[in-house]
C-alpha cells in the first residue's frame, strides 16, 4: 500500500511517500530531515490531531467560546471528544488560556479557551 503525506514537522512541508509492505515494514521517501521520517511513521501508525471547536457559555456576552486542545489527541478519539465537549457548559467570565477541561478523555491533554468572554453587562446589572 502506498500513501502520500505532506509533512508538517517543519516549515519545508515535504511530500513524503510511504510504502507499506505486506509484512508491515515501511519504506519512507521524500523527507528532507529525520523529523519527516518520524512524522510519517506516527501519521501512519497513530495519527494525532489538535481539536478546535466551540463550547456553550452561560451568562456571557456571547453564547459560545472557542477552545482548542493544548496538544494532539489520537485521531480516532476526535468524534468521542466532540461529543463530550458538546455537553460542557461554562460560566462567564472566561479568559484566553483558561483551562476548560483538565484531562480530555484521559489523554493528558487540556482543553483551553482561545478567546475571552465577559459576563453579559445586562445580566450583571439585573443581578445588583
pLDDT by residue for the chain (128 residues), tens only, comes to 899 999 999 999 999 999 999 998 999 999 999 999 999 999 999 999 999 999 999 999 999 999 999 999 999 999 999 999 999 999 999 999 999 999 999 999 999 999 999 998 765 566 65
Same domain? 25 vs 67: no
Same domain? 71 vs 103: yes
Domain count within the chain = 2
- Radius of gyration, alpha carbons of the chain: 20
Stated pTM of the model: 0.81
Same domain? 72 vs 108: yes
pLDDT at 24: 87
67: left (phi over 0), alpha (psi -120 to 50) or beta: beta
Same domain? 61 vs 102: yes
The three grid cell numbers given for residue 76, joined into one nine-digit string: 480516532
The three grid cell numbers given for residue 2, joined into one nine-digit string: 502506498
Rounded to whole angstroms, the Cα distance separating 108 from 81 reads 13
Domain that holds residue 21: 2-45
What residues contact residue 76 under an 8 Å CB cut-off, 6+ apart?
none
Same domain? 57 vs 119: yes
Same domain? 116 vs 68: yes
Same domain? 19 vs 64: no
Amino acid at each position: 500500500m502506498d500513501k502520500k503525506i505532506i509533512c508538517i514537522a517543519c516549515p519545508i512541508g515535504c511530500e513524503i511517500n510511504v510504502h507499506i509492505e505486506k509484512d508491515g515494514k515501511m519504506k519512507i521517501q521524500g523527507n528532507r530531515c529525520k523529523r519527516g521520517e518520524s512524522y510519517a511513521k506516527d501519521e501512519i501508525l497513530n495519527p494525532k490531531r489538535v481539536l478546535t471547536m466551540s463550547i456553550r457559555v452561560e451568562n456571557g456576552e456571547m453564547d459560545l467560546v472557542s477552545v482548542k486542545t493544548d496538544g494532539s489527541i489520537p485521531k480516532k478519539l476526535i468524534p468521542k471528544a466532540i461529543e463530550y465537549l458538546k455537553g460542557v457548559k461554562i460560566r462567564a467570565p472566561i479568559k484566553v488560556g483558561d483551562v476548560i477541561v483538565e484531562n480530555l478523555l484521559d489523554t493528558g491533554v487540556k482543553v483551553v479557551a482561545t478567546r475571552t468572554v465577559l459576563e453579559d453587562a445586562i445580566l450583571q446589572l439585573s443581578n445588583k
